[in-house]
Amino acid sequence: MNSADSNLLSLNTATVRKQWSLPEIIDGCVRHGIRGIAPWRDQVAAAGLKDCALRIRDGGLTVTGYCRGGMFPAVDREGRRAAHDDNRRAVDEALTLGAPCLILVVGGLPQDRDGVIRSKDLLGAREMVRDGIGDLLDYARGAGMPLAIEPLHPMYAADRACVNTMAHANALCDELGTGLGIAVDVYHVWWDPDLEREIERAASASPSRLLTITSATGWCRPSTC
């Protein structure tokens, strides 16, 4: 791989989580000339935040995003407060790693502490997402850490993310203001008939809302991803 190509490539560490630990992924990126890396929180926690940050810096890698914050909806106030506190920690971790943004997978229908969905109120869940992002933005702005909403394919609306279109993500950015952008994952948004228009809308904002764009993976049929 030549240097021009390697500078454009970033590895989302979930891609090889079954094969390698995060320290092994970092070493593999360095060995194969992949200059960018987007680590996941659970992998960072398993390997140690400070150790991962040091390995990434020593390897000359660039963190292109930190996956993930979000999961705002919950069945009660206590659950929403726990999500808020966890997201504040995610902001701090992103800063330690030198990430340019914290990627938000916003959450789906409200679940209890055992992960059981207890409500089918999708509009209510989206209101919790809006309010949760708004609350987190106050902290993230003060820390200087941009937040990036990742719209997920509608098949994930119930359990992972009830923001499913670029238009919805753009509308949240319009409403909530500075410090909020969008993470575009082609795997999740390729189907959207308004995709090109909404990407242009995000790109034309000042500053641009396009904080990260992925990926090289293709849509599987049938999808089990």
Q: pLDDT tens-digit profile of 130-140?
A: 999 999 999 99
Looking at domain 65-214, its CATH architecture is Alpha-Beta Barrel (3.20)
Q: In what order do the strands lie in the sheet with 147-149?
A: 66-70, 102-105, 147-149, 180-185, 210-214
| Host H or E run for residue 10 | strand 10-12
Residue 180 pLDDT exceeds 80: yes
Mean pLDDT, residues 49-57: 98
Q: Could you tell me which residues come within 8 angstroms of residue 173 by beta carbon, excluding any fewer than 6 positions away?
A: 149, 180, 181, 182, 202, 205, 209
What is the CB-side half-sphere exposure of residue 83 using CA atoms within 13 A? Answer: 28
Contact 23, 47 (CB under 8 A): yes
Distance CA(26)–CA(150), nearest Å, equals 24
* Residue 147 scores a pLDDT above 90: yes
pLDDT single digits (tens) 14-41: 999 999 999 999 999 999 999 999 999 9
The dihedral over CA atoms of 4, 218, 20, 100, expressed in degrees to the nearest 10, equals 60
Give DSSP secondary structure letters for 29-71. HHHHT--EEE-BHHHHHHH-HHHHHHHHHHTT-EE--EEEEE-
Structure tokens at 70: 């979000």
Q: Where are the domains of the chain?
A: 1-59, 65-214
Rounded CA separation 172/213 (Å): 18
Is pLDDT of 148 > 80? yes
Angstrom distances, CA of residue 186 to CA of 6, 7, 195: 20, 20, 10
Those residues with Cβ within 8 angstroms of residue 102's Cβ, 6 or more apart along the chain or in another chain: 65, 66, 68, 69, 90, 91, 94, 140, 145, 146, 147, 148
- pTM higher than 0.85, yes or no? yes
Q: Among positive and negative, which fits the CA dihedral 135, 138, 144, 147?
A: positive
Q: What is the pLDDT of residues 74-132, one digit of tens each?
A: 999 999 999 999 999 999 999 999 999 999 999 999 998 888 999 999 999 999 999 99
